[in-house]
Amino acid sequence: MAVTCKAENRALYAAIDGEVDHHRARQILGELVRQIDLTMPRHLTVDLGGVSFMDSSGIAVLLRASRRMSELEGTMEVVHVPEQASKVLRAAGLDRLIKFE
């Protein structure tokens, strides 16, 4: 599974593993949005520690998840960002829109 989720106390933790590319982005985003809509969290933590590769499709996944959380008046952060993914996200300016740790 590309996304493993755990919900607790109005918070959703989503760990993504493997490659986040155009082949898997739709599946990953679909699962993230499904879990957000199912649990209606106030806060979403996306853990990228298991991501081995990310292309620009990963930017779209995170932006859509962030937009959905904003619609719910919630917050979002991204943690354990691997170096390669960090370069992609920072080059796109995502670090100015989404909290990264």
Task: Dump pLDDT digits (tens) for 62-75.
Answer: 999 999 999 999 99
**What is each CA distance from 71 to 22, 25, 40, 67, 76, in whole angstroms?**
25, 21, 11, 6, 12
Per-residue pLDDT for 101 more than 90?
no
Q: What angle (nearest 5°) sits at the alpha carbon of residue 100, between those of residues 61 and 22?
A: 20
How confident is the model over 83-95, as pLDDT tens digits?
999 999 999 998 8
Region 11-26 average pLDDT: 95
Per-residue pLDDT for 1 more than 70?
no
CATH 3.40.50.920 holds for 3-100: no
- At 3 the pLDDT is 95
**pTM for the complete prediction?**
0.93
89: nearest Cα among 67, 59, 61, 62: 59
Please state, for a pLDDT cut of 90, what percent of the chain lies above it: 87
Q: Where are the domains of the chain?
A: 3-100
In this structure, what token pair is assigned to residue 38?
């199912």
Residue 2: pLDDT band by 50, 70, 90 thresholds?
confident
